[in-house]
Structure 1
Amino acid sequence: MNFKKTKNRITVGLFIPCYINQLYPQVGKATLEVLERLNVNVVYPSGQTCCGQPMANSGYESESIGACHNFIKNFKDFDYIVTPSGSCAYHVKKHYDIIDQTDEVIKVRENVIELCDFIINILKIKNVGAKFPFKVGVHKSCHGLRGLRLGSCSEIVGPSFSVIDDLLKEVEGTEIMELTRKDECCGFGGTFSVVEEAVSVKMGKDRIQDHLDNGVEVITASDTSCLMHLEGLINRNNQPLRVLHIAEILNKSIK
C-alpha cells in the first residue's frame, strides 16, 4: 500500500501518541479535524502504539526496539507522518538510530513532523480560519523548541520566530501575551517529573506564575505532556487558567 498525493491532496499518516490516546483523546480528534478541513487526506493506522520514547527516556532503550519497528511498519508508506507532539516527533527523528537504517526507516525519520510545523512549512498555511477570543500564553516545549527548532531560543542570537505564534496570530480574537521567561522548561521532562518530583513541581509553578503575572487566560503548547504537568498543578492550586493544546485552539469555530 503506497499513499501518494491524490488530486493535489496530501495524504498523511496520523500518529497519536499513547498518552494522548489514553488521556486526551480530544487533542487527537482536533488534530484530525483541523487537517481534514485543510484538505489533507488523513489515514490513521490502527496498528500504531507507543513510539518508544518513555522506555528510552527511562534507560531501557534496547527494550524500545520493538516499538520502533512497529512504528516503521505502520507509517512507512506515507509521505508525511503528522503528530500533535513535538517530543514524539523528535524522538523518532533523532533516536531511531538504534535500529538498522533501512530506506524505510530513513524515510520515516525524515518525514515525521509536528502538526504546526506541517501546517506552516509543508502546507504553507497560516490562517486556518479559527476564532478564539482569549488571552493566550504559549508554552514552548523543550523538544519542539530546542530539538525541532519550532521557534527561536533566547540563548541564541538571531531572528525571532515561532511556528505556533505564526498560527495563533491569525486566529480571530486571540491575543498572544508576552511572557517574562518565554522559553523556560516547565519541569515535566517525562520521567524527570517522577525521579525529581520536587524540582519538577517548583519549575512548573514558576511557569504558571509567569502566565498569571502577564494576564494569560489560556495556556497552550504543542506538547500535551507539558500541558498535563501544568494543568495538574493549576487544578491542585485552584488557579484561574485553562489549558488547551494548540490543535484544540486551531479547531475552534473554523469557518
Structure 2
Amino acid sequence: MIVGLFVPCYVDQFYPNAGIATLQLLEKFGVKVEYPSKQTCCGQPMANSGFEHLTGECDELFTESFAKYDYVVAPSGSCVLHLKEHLHSKKNPEAAERLRGRVYELVEFLTDILQVKELKAKFPHKVGVHQSCHGLRGLKLSQMSELVEPGFSKPEYLLNFVEGLELINLTRKDECCGFGGTFCVAEEAVSSKMGKDRVADHVQNGAEYITGADLSCLMHMEGILRRQKSKVKVVHIAEILNAE
C-alpha cells in the first residue's frame, strides 16, 4: 500500500505541524507515504463561492498528482468531502472517478481502512472534540445527534486510546462553529456569534484543548479564543494521536 499525502493549502501555510503529524502517524502504522510536490489547492474555496466551473485546473493537477496511489489521505474533512463529491477530469475521467473513492480524511482512514485497534500516544489534558459539519454530515465521522440511532464517534474512538487524555462532555456536541468557508466572510456577524457560542460550550465544560479533524473550524475558534485572551488552545487530532 502506498498513500499519497495531500496537505491542504491552509494547513501548509498556517498549521504545518498538523501535516507533519499526519505523515509521522501514518508511518508509525507501517504505511508507505509519498508527498507529491506539485500538489496545490483542491479548489474548494472557489466551488463554495459559486465558481466550480473555474476549478478545472485544480482538478486536473490533483488527478495528475495522485492518480498512481492506492489511497490519498488528508488532515482536512472539508477538502476530502469536496474531492469525494466534485473531483472531475476531462483529460483522465477514469482516474478522477477512481480517486473520488480513494480519498480519505485521516480519522476515517485510520478507523475504516487501517482498522486501528491500539495506539500509543500520551496527552494528559482535558479535551473537547469539535464535530465539523463536513466530517459529521458529509463523511459520517460521528453520529448526528438529531437522529434516533445508536451513537458513534470515530475521533473519540481514537482519542480513547491516548494515555492521560480526558474527553469532556459538551452541552451541544455537534453544533456548527459558524466558519463555513466563505460564509465567515459573507455573514461575518452570524459566523462570529456561532463561533463564540461553540467556544463557550467547550470553555464552560472545562476543556483545556479543542480538537477536531478540520483545521478550518479550529482556526475560526482559535481566533475567537485569542481575542477573548483565553488559555484554551486548539490542536488538530493528528497532533494528539502522534503525541509522545
Q: TM-score range by the shorter chain?
A: over 0.9
- The 3-state SS of whatever aligns with 1:137 is strand
Q: Pairwise mapping of residues 127-166 of structure 1 onto structure 2 (< 5 A)?
A: 127-166=118-157
Aligned to 1:114: 105
The offset of 1:100, in angstroms, is: 7.6
Match of 1:90 among 60, 81, 103: 81
Q: Is 60-69 or 188-197 further displaced after alignment?
A: 60-69
TM-score (norm 1): 0.93
**Is 1:243 aligned to residue 234 of structure 2?**
yes
- Residues 99/144 of structure 1: CA separation in 2 closer, same or farther (3 Å cut): farther
Greater shift, 80-89 or 94-103, is seen at 94-103
Which residue pairs with 2:213 in the alignment?
222
Question: Is residue 146 of structure 2 the alignment partner of residue 189 of structure 1?
Answer: no
- Give the residue type in structure 2 aligned to 1:236: R
Aligned residues: CA RMSD: 1.2
What amino acid sits opposite 1:211 in the alignment?
A: H
User: Could you tell me whether the CA contact under 8 Å between 1:76 and 1:105 is conserved in 2?
Assistant: yes
Q: Of 203, 208, 213, which residue of structure 2 is paired with 1:212?
A: 203
Q: CA deviation at 1:141?
A: 0.4
Deviations 1:102-129, CA, capped at 9 Å, x for gaps: 2211110000000011011111114320
Distance 1:252 1:149 in 2: 25
**Could you tell me which residue of structure 2 aligns to residue 199 of structure 1?**
190
Identical aligned pairs, as a percentage? 55
Contact 1:20 1:224 in 2 (8 A): yes
Asked if structure 2 preserves the Cα contact closer than 8 Å seen for 1:127 and 1:171, the reply is: no
Q: Please tell me the residue identity of whatever aligns with 1:252.
A: A
Matched residue of 1:171: which SS? coil
Unaligned stretches of 5+ residues in structure 1: 1-9
Alignment of 1:13-28 (within 5 A): 13-28=4-19
Q: Which residue of 2 aligns with 1:125?
A: 116
Q: Which residue does 1:29 correspond to in 2?
A: 20
Hey, what does 1:7 align to over in structure 2?
Answer: none
> 1:20 and 1:195, CA in 2 relative to 1: closer, same or farther beyond 3 A?
same
- The answer as to whether partners of 2:126 and 2:165 remain within 8 angstroms in 1 is yes
Whether the 8 Å contact between 2:60 and 2:88 is mirrored in structure 1 is: no
The one-letter code of the counterpart of 1:177 is I
- In 2, the alpha carbon distance for the partners of 1:175 and 1:44 equals 33
**Offset of residue 65 of structure 1:** 1.1
2:50 to 33, 46, 59: 59
Instruction: Could you tell me which runs of 5 or more consecutive residues in structure 2 were left unpaired when the two chains were aligned.
Output: none
SS in 1 for 2:220: helix
Q: Is the 8 A contact 2:3 2:72 kept in 1?
A: yes
Cα distance in 2 between the residues matched to 1:98 and 1:149:
26
Q: Secondary structure at the match of 1:243?
A: strand
Tell me if structure 2 keeps the 8 A contact 1:119–1:126.
Answer: no
Question: Partner residue of 1:4?
Answer: none
- Pick the aligned partner of 1:78 from 69, 84, 94: 69
Q: Give the Cα–Cα distance (whole angstroms) in 2 for the partners of residues 192 and 101 of structure 1.
A: 32
